[in-house]
């Protein structure tokens, strides 16, 4: 695995019916802007981007209401073939909150368009003008070793400054590109020292661009940085330049468009404001509720380093004014322990403005975070390693950004920062102070649970569940689960591998449960040990489950299977127990929810329950059950 | 789509690039006679073919394309 930014890997691939959905966009229908934005929020091929851009053009032309997208008219003045960029830009802009109309001026008419009072550029009254220029257009493509390098660079800077001033006079924002350096070296490493090499001249030019921007109220489009990210050997494409005058490789067009669109979004105030962090396996390795303070990975070791990088990135973002929040399925007290006690945690509670650790769905918690901070949901970015959580949030709140993440946490910062959610066209002292002004006291926000259609979501996961009795092959994993599961564990009884082995093939009922869904395989996620205490009674000695699969009705599925197997063995009654510990409060009403009856006359921490199998009716469950032995 | 690029394979790419499923191609079809297949669309089609094949054509190969059949043969030989 590696990180290829040209594929925009933080976005989902486009759905199969993408073209049909673009064609179906009809002027005048409700919520058009949001539909366009969610269609744009995929990694699009040039043809797909073109299809969506054409649809956006059609809708703008029909004066459709595309809010919440902000309108923007961009003119491109091309020094090379920018048609493919012009075709891809509206789709990319919609991704970043902008309804973009693009006008592409004729090739090679840059000065004429800016200076001629009757040019189509002047008549079209654009909001912004992008200069499609590079080292070739500026005359910095050939070394100048005769001592005139300085003058050549200054001439290039002046030429761009004059254009920028002309554009600013039109009332438009100049978008000024930095110039990527071709990899071909004349001397080799010495190119950096020798005045007049292409590298030295381009670097000098780029270093002068910020002051031109400041003077003309322009914005920089750091094309040189895009080229660096892609790699200059991939960026420059001499074949395509010679044949078609493409300014750079066509593979880089989607990334170029996305980067330009971020700047347009930032100019329209669409950049996001708050990074919401999941905790387990996002900010540290492991599950705090199960692995405990000593078991989670942060700081030491390669995996711990990866998570430390995620935290460092979050802190840097906070420093530049991005608000940090936490949204985690956890016990509040458990989730705060690493922040308070782990020596290698870089994030502290005082860095977090809103701290949501509970078992309610993430969409409701994100709503609570936005409401508390008094910002829009479209200002949030959720960083979460769990694909199913991301899918649920995207379905419920499409305006919240949820970058896709790879399996290896070492790449999390590259994915999040690569996606450019927090693009900015300025950095002020208010930005520096912002995170403080949002009293970062890790407060808890009240969640207003809404009835989301849970059943639809669960069936969309296409879950497959499998049951089998304990066996030798899985013995080690069973013992591991028995000995480390703390939260969803009714009795917290620990057994050695030998004790587990003794249960295999005996008179007691054992169940190991596996779950997978369309996003992946969770492996073994639940266990039951039910002892035959009388001929017709099974007593549930152990019932545990991984918290990763909470809220998916797995416990109901496990009960249905247990009841079937107990009936087959001739039983008429189940007995269950809840033995309260410091960590298993989340299952205090487990048996109540499943329809068991409480036994009376018991003193905490122990509570027992019973269930008559005659009266038990299973509910409809969102799984397909895999054939079991 | 076929494993070895053939006429149908090229046709699918052209339909996608021109966003038009009504297009029907023959080996002797000339791009100029296909609606929407202008010089710019031609670039998009060539780039899409290269991307699907995972390799690049040479300047000379691309320069010598005049009919759909040339495209098919170029995609086959490489």
pLDDT digits (tens, 9 = 90+) for A283-299: 999 999 989 999 999 99
Q: Are residues A206 and A181 in contact, defined by beta-carbon separation less than 8 angstroms?
A: no
| Distance of residue A53 Cα from the nearest chain B Cα, in angstroms | 12
| Distance of residue B26 Cα from the nearest chain A Cα, in angstroms | 22
Partners of B63 on chain A (C-beta within 8 Å) are 243
Taking residues A473-490, report their average pLDDT.
92
Residues A79-112: tens digit of each pLDDT: 999 999 999 999 999 999 999 999 999 998 999 9
Query: Is A1 a residue whose pLDDT tops 60?
Result: no
Q: Are residues A566 and A574 in contact, defined by beta-carbon separation less than 8 angstroms?
A: yes
Residues A252-308: tens digit of each pLDDT: 999 999 999 999 999 999 999 999 999 999 999 999 998 999 999 999 899 999 999
Phi and psi at residue A97, to the nearest 5°: 85, 20
Partners of B44 on chain A (C-beta within 8 Å) are 46-47, 50, 84
Least confident of A172-181, A453-462, A520-529, A578-587: A453-462
Mean pLDDT over each residue of chain A, to the nearest integer = 92
Query: CA–CA separation, A48 vs A507, rounded Å?
Result: 60
Residues A350-385: tens digit of each pLDDT: 999 999 999 888 999 999 999 999 899 999 999 999
pLDDT value at residue A522: 84
Taking residues A473-491, report their average pLDDT.
92
The SS3 of residue A496 is coil
Nearest one of A307, A255, A214, A274 to A88, comparing CA atoms: A255
pLDDT value at residue A340: 96
CB-based contact B19 A246, cutoff 8 Å: no
Nearest to A239 among B16, B17, B56 (CB): B56
| Distance of residue B27 Cα from the nearest chain A Cα, in angstroms | 23
pLDDT above 90 coverage of chain A, percent: 81
CB-based contact A46 B47, cutoff 8 Å: yes
Residues facing residue A130 across a β-bridge: A76, A175
Residue A375 DSSP one-character state:
-
Query: CA–CA separation, A472 vs A493, rounded Å?
Result: 20
| A 187-246: CB under 8 A from B | 239-240, 242-244, 246
Nearest to A51 among B19, B58, B62 (CB): B19
| Distance of residue B4 Cα from the nearest chain A Cα, in angstroms | 22
Show contacts of A555-558: CB within 8 Å, 24+ apart: A555/A526, A555/A590, A555/A593, A555/A594, A556/A594, A556/A618, A556/A619, A556/A621, A557/A465, A557/A513, A557/A621, A557/A623, A557/A625, A558/A467, A558/A511, A558/A513, A558/A526, A558/A528
Tokens of A531: 């002892």
Nearest to B59 among A47, A54, A243 (CB): A243
User: How many C-beta atoms lie closer than 10 Å to residue A91's C-beta?
Assistant: 29
Mutate to test the interface with B, among A239, A245, A252 (most CBs of B within 10 A): A239
Q: What is the pTM of this model?
A: 0.85
CB-based contact A84 B19, cutoff 8 Å: no
Nearest one of A27, A25, A19, A84 to B19, comparing CA atoms: A19
**Nearest chain A alpha carbon to B45:** A47
Mutate to test the interface with B, among A236, A250, A253 (most CBs of B within 10 A): A250
Query: CA–CA separation, A244 vs A238, rounded Å?
Result: 10
On whether any CB of chain B is under 8 Å from the CB of A84, the answer is yes
pLDDT value at residue A88: 97
On whether any CB of chain A is under 8 Å from the CB of B48, the answer is yes
Upper half-sphere CA count for residue A576 (Cβ side, 13 Å) = 25
pLDDT value at residue A84: 96
Residues 6 or more apart whose CB falls under 8 angstroms from that of A623 comprise A463, A464, A465, A515, A553, A557
The SS3 of residue A194 is coil
Partners of A50 on chain B (C-beta within 8 Å) are 19, 44
pLDDT value at residue A315: 97
Q: How many CB pairs under 8 A join A and B?
A: 36
The SS3 of residue B28 is coil
**Nearest chain A alpha carbon to B58:** A239
Beta strand pairing status for A606-612 and A573-579? antiparallel
Mutate to test the interface with A, among B13, B43, B62 (most CBs of A within 10 A): B43
Query: CA–CA separation, A267 vs A425, rounded Å?
Result: 7
Residues A119-160: tens digit of each pLDDT: 889 888 999 999 999 999 999 999 999 999 999 999 999 999
Tokens of B30: 């000339």
CA dihedral A224, A229, A234, A237 (to 10 degrees): -20
Mutate to test the interface with B, among A54, A243, A252 (most CBs of B within 10 A): A243
CB-based contact B44 A84, cutoff 8 Å: yes
pLDDT value at residue A449: 57
Residues A179-220: tens digit of each pLDDT: 999 999 999 999 999 999 999 999 999 999 999 999 999 999
3-state class percentages of chain B: helix first, strand second, coil last, to nearest 5: 60, 0, 40
On whether any CB of chain A is under 8 Å from the CB of B63, the answer is yes
> Which residues of chain B are modeled with pLDDT < 70?
1-3, 78
Nearest one of A595, A525, A508 to A560, comparing CA atoms: A595
pLDDT value at residue A440: 61
On whether any CB of chain B is under 8 Å from the CB of A569, the answer is no
Q: Higher confidence at residue A519 or residue A478?
A: A478
Phi and psi at residue A228, to the nearest 5°: -60, -45
CA-CA-CA-CA torsion sign (A214, A215, A220, A225): negative
Query: CA–CA separation, A77 vs A83, rounded Å?
Result: 11
| Distance of residue B45 Cα from the nearest chain A Cα, in angstroms | 10
Query: Is A600 a residue whose pLDDT tops 90?
Result: no
Residues facing residue A540 across a β-bridge: A530
Q: Are residues A8 and A421 in contact, defined by beta-carbon separation less than 8 angstroms?
A: no
Query: Is A39 a residue whose pLDDT tops 60?
Result: yes
């Amino acid at each position: 695995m590696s990180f290829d930014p040209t594929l925009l890997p933080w976005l989902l691939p486009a759905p199969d019916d993408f073209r049909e959905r673009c064609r179906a966009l009809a002027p005048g229908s409700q919520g058009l802007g949001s539909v366009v934005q969610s269609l744009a929020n995929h990694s699009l091929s040039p043809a797909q981007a073109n299809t969506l851009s054409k649809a956006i053009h059609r809708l703008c032309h029909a004066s459709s209401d595309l809010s919440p997208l902000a309108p923007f008219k961009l003119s491109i003045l091309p020094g090379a073939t920018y048609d493919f960029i012009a075709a891809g830009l509206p789709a990319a802009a919609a991704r970043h909150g902008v309804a973009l109309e693009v006008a592409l001026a004729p090739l090679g008419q840059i000065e004429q368009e800016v200076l001629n009072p009757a040019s189509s550029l002047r008549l079209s009254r654009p909001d912004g003008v992008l200069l499609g220029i590079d080292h070739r257009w500026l005359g910095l493509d050939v070394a100048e070793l005769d001592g005139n390098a300085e003058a050549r660079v200054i001439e290039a800077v002046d030429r761009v400054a004059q254009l920028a001033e002309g554009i600013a006079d039109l009332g438009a924002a100049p978008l000024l590109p930095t110039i990527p350096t071709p990899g071909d070296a004349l001397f080799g490493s010495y190119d950096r020292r020798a005045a007049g090499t292409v590298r030295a001249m381009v670097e000098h030019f780029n270093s002068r661009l910020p002051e031109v921007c400041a003077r003309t109220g322009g914005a920089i489009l750091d094309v040189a940085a895009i080229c660096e990210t892609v790699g200059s050997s991939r960026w420059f494409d001499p074949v395509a330049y010679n044949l078609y005058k493409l300014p750079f490789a066509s593979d880089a067009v989607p990334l170029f468009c996305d980067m330009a669109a971020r700047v347009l979004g930032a100019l329209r105030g669409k950049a996001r404001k708050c990074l919401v962090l999941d905790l387990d396996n996002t900010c540290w390795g492991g599950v705090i509720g199960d692995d405990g303070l000593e078991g989670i990975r942060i700081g030491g070791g390669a995996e711990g380093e990866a998570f430390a990088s995620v935290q460092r990135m979050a802190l840097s973002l906070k420093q530049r004014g991005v608000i940090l929040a936490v949204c985690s399925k956890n016990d509040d007290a458990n989730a705060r322990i690493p922040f308070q006690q782990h020596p290698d945690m870089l994030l502290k509670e005082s860095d977090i403005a809103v701290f949501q650790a509970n078992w309610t769905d993430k969409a409701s918690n994100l709503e609570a975070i936005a409401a508390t901070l008094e910002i829009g949901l479209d200002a949030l970015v959720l960083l979460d390693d769990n694909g199913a959580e991301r899918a649920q949030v995207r379905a419920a709140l499409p305006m919240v950004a949820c970058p896709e993440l790879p399996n290896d946490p070492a790449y999390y910062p590259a994915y999040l920062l690569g996606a450019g959610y927090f693009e900015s066209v300025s950095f002020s002292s208010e930005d520096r102070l912002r995170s403080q002004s949002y009293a970062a006291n890790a407060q808890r926000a009240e969640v207003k649970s809404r009835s989301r259609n849970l059943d639809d979501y669960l069936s969309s996961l296409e879950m497959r569940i499998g049951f089998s009795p304990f066996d030798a092959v899985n013995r080690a994993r069973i013992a591991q689960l028995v000995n480390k599961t703390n939260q969803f564990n009714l009795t917290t009884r620990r057994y050695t591998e030998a004790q587990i082995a003794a249960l295999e093939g005996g008179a007691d009922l054992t169940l190991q449960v596996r779950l997978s869904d369309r996003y992946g395989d969770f492996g073994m996620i639940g266990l039951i040990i039910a002892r035959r205490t009388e001929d017709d009674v099974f007593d549930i000695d152990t019932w545990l489950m991984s918290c990763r699969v909470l809220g998916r009705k797995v416990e109901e599925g496990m009960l249905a299977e247990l009841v079937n197997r107990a009936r087959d063995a001739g039983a008429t009654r189940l007995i269950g127990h809840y033995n309260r510990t410091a960590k298993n409060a989340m299952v205090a009403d487990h048996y109540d929810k499943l329809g068991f009856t409480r036994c009376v006359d018991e003193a905490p921490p122990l509570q027992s329950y019973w269930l008559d199998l005659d009266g038990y009716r299973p509910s409809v469950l969102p799984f397909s059950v895999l054939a079991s032995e | 789509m076929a494993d070895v690029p053939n006429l149908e394979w090229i046709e699918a790419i052209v339909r996608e690039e021109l966003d038009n499923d009504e297009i029907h191609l023959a080996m002797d079809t000339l791009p100029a006679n296909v609606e929407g297949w202008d010089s710019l669309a031609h670039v998009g089609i060539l780039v899409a073919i290269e991307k699907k094949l995972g390799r690049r054509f040479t300047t000379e190969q691309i320069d010598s394309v005049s009919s759909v059949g040339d495209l098919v043969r170029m995609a086959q030989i490489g």
